[in-house]
């Protein structure tokens, strides 16, 4: 899965299965809605270690890809020919790439054993969730509230004239429980656990009935009823009874898209939570910093003459098989998670060398007389910081770093920004803050090289490694908080 980096962290968080309460990315961060923390400051974002967390998570994520009908190509029509559906997808690689002359990219690799194509009356895959407000009950609110619990059910937004498909595997709810039965995903906000709970077709009188219309025990299952006037999901009456604040997620195959969401193509407009003014980022919107936590510096210093920075990691997974099951029952992540950094520069002065060797203070004071490979090899706690911005440096007044400005007349005036986990609004003349900050801690250099050819500038390349400590923070983060960033449990 390859994408242009547009300053977003939510894609990363979704693939890492960050809990719904912490992926909401609200205007103000607290200990309960933030996934990262530094000291006493809570931050919206995601940690590489989230991919290793299995407690409370589903086994992998769900992906699908609708294929538009050939005659509708170039339009926004929802004329779908077929949909590729993948469940229990495990992310096994990640790469951030920032280079001159090209768009910044954010790429993921993945693996799964669950793959099928949906067509005809089942070709439209819908996703509805109480946290997104696509489902509602008789009280007409969006979130799963106490009033909904009193109702005992929630309604899908699928039009009454449309139908959920009946597949060869059963009712067209596409997530499965541990027994392979069609299921609804239930997130228990108290215990922080996501579980696929079985859903079966029935009627209102079956709900809570240990011996329903067909003798089936319905007490621990969700019950789906298509009455002809609504598509209704009744809550279980035992074991997994939802309470206010819990989250239901429903992925289903139907003969049409639900009215409230899942159009084939619509612009990304999620005001206040995701950047929607940038399609891709280029060199004037990207700043890279090398931070030495042992330095006396009190602010970030933009690294000189960098032409490329790539952050990559392999999330190696071991498929665990057992007799009696065709597919693996789990794919645990191999720890630690290795992170590889490569930095390319045009050769200039020795400032970058001094940074990587932990001798920047001496370099700045002009007291450093030498730097060698031993200095490089003994430094093992550097931090890489990448910040991406909405404006280019020229649009921001020609400056970088803290000198970037939101000029009078800029389209950014009135837009929201995040700083240290809290959302605020831009006014003319103030500093521009990053859309996203990527942090890799505890770097140790692994290789260095210099190339000089006749007819071209000399170049230097540096390679680094780290383990586990990769973080993507929504918005900007103050210098004094960078060293302490960690995952908030």
| Residue 472 burial class via C-beta count within 10 angstroms: exposed 0-12, middle 13-18, buried 19 and up | buried
* Pair 436, 321 in one domain: yes
Residue 272 is predicted with a pLDDT of: 56
Dist. CA 369–CA 20, nearest whole Å: 53
Looking at the domain assignment, is residue 179 inside a domain? yes
pLDDT tens for the chain, residues 1 to 489: 999 999 999 999 999 999 888 888 888 899 999 999 999 999 999 999 999 988 888 889 999 999 998 898 888 788 889 999 999 999 999 999 999 989 999 999 999 988 999 999 999 999 998 877 677 766 656 567 777 778 888 899 999 999 999 998 889 999 999 888 999 999 988 888 899 999 999 998 888 888 766 667 888 899 999 999 999 999 988 877 888 888 899 999 999 998 766 566 666 566 557 887 888 999 999 999 988 888 888 888 877 788 999 999 999 998 888 898 787 888 889 999 999 999 998 887 778 778 888 888 888 888 888 888 888 788 889 999 999 999 999 999 999 999 999 999 999 999 999 999 999 999 999 999 999 999 999 999 999 888 888 888 888 899 999 999 999 999 999 999 999 999 998
Looking at the domain assignment, is residue 62 inside a domain? no
Looking at the domain assignment, is residue 65 inside a domain? no
DSSP for 365-431, please give it. TT------HHHHHH---EEEEEEE-SS-TTTTTS--GGG-B--TT-TTTT-EEEETTEEEE--TTSB
Residue 242 is predicted with a pLDDT of: 85
* Tally of CB atoms within 10 A around 248: 21
Instruction: Among 196, 229, 254, give the residue marking a domain's end.
Output: 254
* Total number of domains in the chain: 2
* Pair 132, 95 in one domain: no
* Pair 153, 288 in one domain: no
* Pair 295, 409 in one domain: yes
Residues contacting 86, CB < 8 A, separation 6+:
62, 63, 64, 112, 114, 115
DSSP for 87-122, please give it. EEEEEEEEEEEEETTS--EEEEEEE-SEEEEEEGGG
With contact defined as beta carbons under 8 Å apart, do 288 and 352 qualify?
Answer: no
Interior CA angle at 470 toward 464 and 473, to 5°?
135
Looking at the domain assignment, is residue 271 inside a domain? yes
Question: Cα 419 to chain center, whole Å?
Answer: 19
| Per-residue CA distances from 292 to 12, 482, 483 (Å) | 27, 11, 9
Q: What is the DSSP letter of 38?
A: E
Report the chain's C-alpha Rg in angstroms: 25
* Pair 241, 279 in one domain: no
Looking at the domain assignment, is residue 77 inside a domain? no
Residues contacting 103, CB < 8 A, separation 6+:
4, 5, 280, 281, 282
Residue 142 is predicted with a pLDDT of: 58
* Pair 249, 318 in one domain: no
* Pair 249, 140 in one domain: yes
Looking at the domain assignment, is residue 250 inside a domain? yes
DSSP for 187-231, please give it. EETTTTEEEEEEEEE--GGGTT-SS-TTS---TTSEEEEE-SS-E
* Pair 111, 129 in one domain: no
- Tell me the backbone φ, ψ of residue 22, rounded to 5 degrees: -105, -5
* Pair 352, 317 in one domain: yes
Dist. CA 262–CA 127, nearest whole Å: 7
* Pair 237, 290 in one domain: no
Residue 271 is predicted with a pLDDT of: 54
Dist. CA 478–CA 489, nearest whole Å: 22
With contact defined as beta carbons under 8 Å apart, do 258 and 250 qualify?
Answer: no
Dist. CA 290–CA 359, nearest whole Å: 12
Instruction: Among 231, 254, 277, give the residue marking a domain's end.
Output: 254
* Pair 367, 424 in one domain: yes
Dist. CA 60–CA 113, nearest whole Å: 11
Instruction: Take residue 463 and report the two structure tokens written for it.
Output: 């390679």
**Cα four-point dihedral sign 87, 89, 95, 96:** positive
Helix, strand, or coil here: 239?
coil
Looking at the domain assignment, is residue 66 inside a domain? no
Name residue 356's beta-bridge partners.
none
With contact defined as beta carbons under 8 Å apart, do 403 and 409 qualify?
Answer: no
pTM comes to 0.90
Dist. CA 461–CA 308, nearest whole Å: 9
Instruction: Among 226, 254, 282, give the residue marking a domain's end.
Output: 254
Looking at the domain assignment, is residue 14 inside a domain? yes
| 36 backbone φψ class: left, alpha, beta (φ>0; ψ -120 to 50) | beta
Range of the domain at 337: 1-57+90-116+267-489
* Pair 245, 286 in one domain: no
Give the pairing type, strands 247-254 and 231-234: unpaired
Instruction: Take residue 111 and report the two structure tokens written for it.
Output: 């693996």
């Amino acid at each position: 899965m390859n994408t242009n980096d547009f300053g977003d962290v939510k894609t990363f968080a979704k693939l890492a299965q960050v809990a719904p309460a912490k992926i909401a990315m609200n205007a103000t961060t607290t200990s309960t809605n933030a996934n990262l923390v530094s000291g006493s400051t809570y931050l919206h974002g995601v940690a590489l270690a989230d991919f290793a967390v299995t407690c409370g998570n589903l086994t992998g994520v769900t992906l699908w890809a609708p294929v538009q009908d050939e005659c509708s190509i170039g339009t926004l029509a929802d004329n779908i020919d077929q949909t590729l559906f993948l469940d229990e997808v495990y992310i096994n690689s990640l790469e951030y790439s920032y280079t001159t002359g090209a768009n910044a990219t954010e790429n993921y690799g993945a693996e799964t054993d669950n793959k099928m194509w949906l067509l005809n009356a089942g070709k439209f895959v819908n996703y509805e969730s109480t946290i997104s407000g696509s489902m509602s009950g008789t009280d007409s609110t969006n979130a799963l509230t106490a009033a909904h619990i009193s109702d005992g059910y929630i309604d899908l937004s699928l039009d009454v004239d449309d139908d959920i498909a009946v597949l060869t595997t059963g009712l067209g709810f596409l997530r499965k429980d541990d027994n392979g039965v069609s299921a609804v995903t239930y997130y228990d906000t108290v215990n922080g656990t996501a579980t696929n709970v079985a859903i079966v077709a029935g009627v209102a009188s079956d709900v809570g009935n240990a011996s329903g219309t067909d003798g089936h025990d319905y007490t621990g299952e969700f019950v789906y009823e298509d009455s002809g006037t609504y598509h209704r999901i009744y809550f279980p009456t035992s074991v997994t009874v939802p309470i206010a604040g819990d989250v239901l997620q429903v992925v289903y195959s139907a003969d049409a898209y639900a009215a409230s969401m899942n159009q084939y193509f619509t612009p990304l407009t999620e005001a206040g939570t995701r950047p929607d003014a940038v399609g891709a980022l280029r060199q004037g919107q990207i700043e890279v910093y090398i931070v030495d936590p042992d330095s006396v510096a009190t602010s970030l210093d933009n690294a000189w003459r960098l032409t490329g920075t790539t952050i990559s990691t392999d999330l190696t997974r071991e498929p665990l098989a057992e007799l009696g099951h065709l597919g693996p029952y789990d794919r645990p992540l191999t720890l630690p998670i290795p992170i590889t950094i490569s930095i390319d520069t045009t050769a200039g002065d020795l400032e970058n060398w001094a940074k990587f060797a932990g001798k920047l203070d001496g370099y700045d004071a002009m007291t450093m007389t030498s730097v060698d490979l031993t200095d490089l090899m003994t430094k093992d706690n550097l931090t890489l910081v990448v910040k991406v911005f909405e404006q280019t440096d020229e649009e921001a007044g020609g400056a970088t770093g803290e000198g970037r400005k939101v000029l009078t007349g800029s389209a950014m005036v009135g837009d929201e920004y995040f700083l240290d986990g809290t959302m605020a609004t831009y006014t003319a003349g103030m500093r521009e803050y990053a859309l996203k900050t990527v942090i890799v801690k505890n770097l140790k250099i692994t290789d260095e090289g210099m190339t000089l050819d006749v007819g071209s500038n000399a170049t230097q390349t540096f390679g680094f490694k780290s383990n586990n400590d990769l973080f993507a923070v929504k918005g900007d983060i103050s210098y004094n908080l960078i060293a302490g960033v960690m995952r908030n449990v």
